[in-house]
Structure 1
Amino acid sequence: MKKEKVIVMGEINTEAFPTLVYIGKVSGNPNWKLPSHSHEDVSEMVFISHGEGLIKIDGQPYVVEQGDLLIYNRGIVHEECSSPICPLNTYYCGVANIKSGYNIIPEGAAPHIKTEQYADKMNTIFSFLYEESSNKAAGYEMISGTLLLTLITLIQRMVHKEEELPAKDPEELAVQLRAFLDQNYLKHLKLTDVANAFHMNAYYLSHVFKKRYNDSPINYMLHRRMGEAGRLLLNTNMRINEIAEFLGYDNANYFTILFTKTMGESPTKYKKNEKRQRVNVLE
């Protein structure tokens, strides 16, 4: 199944104003995937309206789900793959002539955004933008331009919110830290990296997290990676070395050792035992 794309502008506007170059959608194809590619003249926004998938942005893997937003600034290499169990439904659009030099988000900002309370609004705006661009009724350019500006403004608001310093209250800080780890567990961060992101002392952060969750931040991320490995073993046809590579492990044997230590059995035995006990009702 190919992407459904609507070309909005034949040529990119040279004025310093956001221009919608194209908009499209992907609709529930379990076999859908796009290999590594980039866009040199546009930035791209992708909104997950339903389903799950695996996305790599600039070499960094992300597990995405409904309500997630992905931003590919121009020139950033990315690849996309839908889950065969819960296929992706997405809206995507290409944007040019953004004031910040064609970039939707600042350099260094997280390209994977949890829209949370804005999810319904984002879905409505993308849907309306796709409809207007497809029908091209009178005044669609003005409406599309306004909707595009609204999207970009909301995205920049969410990025700004993520950059704000966390609360000082230890309980709230621990919750914020866990949310950060849940979003970044595939990055193989060191404790100092996490501390730098929060502008706080590494020892204090670790202490606060362990007091709240009885686990260290690094061990928590390891368990999240191995849990994702287990999900991929059961729900995809990926080989062990492919899963290891996706999760950021160059050495499949080292990954197998970590998986066995964390999950109590090797990846092969885990897959065999779990599938033996599972009943697939829809088959």
Structure 2
Amino acid sequence: MNLTLQYIGKVLEQPDWNFPAHRHQHFSELIFVTKGEGVVTIAGERYAVQEGDLLVYNKGVMHEEYSSQNNPLALYYSGILHPAMEMLIPLECCPVMKTKEHKNTIQSLFDLLFEEAQHKRDQYQQATQQLLAVLVVWVHRLNKENTTLNKVRDAESLAIGIKEYLDIHYLRHLTLQDIATEFHLNPYYISHVFHRKYNDSPINYILNRRMAEARQLLVSTKLKISVIAHLLGYENANYFTILFTRLMTESPSQYRKRELRERINL
């Protein structure tokens, strides 16, 4: 694999420990949490981390760490040069992995790696290379396990999260790129995951959400159509009327008259 250990160190349960946002252009980092909990931000995404988590910071990716004051982090951190590989894991994969029943194995590898680097005994460089090779194999195994176990659940959770975001921000003129930027994912994946869950596109969902609000306002208030259009983010009332008519097959005024005629208010 042609791996080289650049450095290895420990953080030992320091309540106020944090490391501001930074990146490494030429090597990646592996972090193993041995105790405690904290929050890390990787490529703009926040993750809660705890004992047994293995973190992968690909080279060039921004990251920062913050320890919990009540349950401070203890961890190993290591810098790895890997010229034969562009990334340790693909960028679309989750950089925080649960080691679960493999926790002791991963901890033993870091313990040995730290010991070899610390004492620099005869042939320690070969030893660190071999230990790194085993560790990277475990990174790939855990990445595969985590991806397989969480793929469906994570996609569904993401779709629900997108819907919640749209329900809050449906009055904004969002583009698919805006939504993708908010979730730090590409627009195609956002659209794919949302459609698989709700059989609709995010942008069409926003439109239908606005029209549902419009129907509610038309029958529950006496507001002018131009005012309703403005409340829903449409500066041009005629454009709002065209959209409403296209979706509801009748104009806002026709809808209001029909609904009020059929509705019994107490």
TM exceeding 0.5: yes
Which structure has the larger Rg over C-alpha atoms? 2
Gaps of 5+ in 2: 165-187, 200-266
1:43-97 Cα offsets, whole Å, 9 max, x none, are 0010000000011011111000000111110110111010000000000100112
* Residue 143 of structure 1: how far off its partner (Å): 1.4
* Whole-Å separation in 2 of the counterparts to 1:194 and 1:62: 20
* SS in structure 2 of the partner of residue 86 of structure 1: coil
Report if aligned partners of 2:28, 2:79 keep a CA contact under 8 Å in 1. yes
Alignment partner of 1:138 is 2:122: yes
Whichever residue aligns with residue 158 of structure 1, its letter is L
Alignment partner of 1:88 is 2:73: yes
* Residue 106 of structure 1: how far off its partner (Å): 1.3
Report if aligned partners of 1:25, 1:89 keep a CA contact under 8 Å in 2. yes
Percent of aligned pairs with the same amino acid: 33
Match of 1:59 in 2: 44
Report if aligned partners of 2:33, 2:51 keep a CA contact under 8 Å in 1. yes
Whichever residue aligns with residue 93 of structure 2, its letter is A
* Whole-Å separation in 2 of the counterparts to 1:203 and 1:189: 11
The TM-score normalised by the length of structure 1 is 0.55
Match of 1:44 in 2: 29
Equivalent residue in structure 2 for 1:78, among 54, 58, 63: 63
* Residue 161 of structure 1: how far off its partner (Å): 2.6
Report if aligned partners of 1:53, 1:82 keep a CA contact under 8 Å in 2. yes
Alignment partner of 1:26 is 2:11: yes
RMSD, aligned α-carbons: 3.0
Residues 195, 164 of structure 1: CA spacing in aligned structure 2 closer, same or farther, 3 A cutoff?
farther
1:195-242 Cα offsets, whole Å, 9 max, x none, are 956x994159xxxxxxxxxxxxxxxxxxxxxxxxxxxxxxxxxxxxxx
Report if aligned partners of 1:98, 1:104 keep a CA contact under 8 Å in 2. no
* Whole-Å separation in 2 of the counterparts to 1:119 and 1:64: 14
Regions of 4+ moved over 4 Å: 187-197
Alignment partner of 1:159 is 2:143: yes
Q: Which has the higher helix share?
A: 2
Report if aligned partners of 2:98, 2:146 keep a CA contact under 8 Å in 1. no
* Whole-Å separation in 2 of the counterparts to 1:72 and 1:19: 16
Equivalent residue in structure 2 for 1:125, among 88, 92, 109: 109
Q: Which moved more, 1:76-85 or 1:114-123?
A: 114-123
* Whole-Å separation in 2 of the counterparts to 1:88 and 1:112: 15
Gaps of 5+ in 1: 1-15, 167-172, 205-283
* SS in structure 2 of the partner of residue 164 of structure 1: helix
How many residues get paired?
175
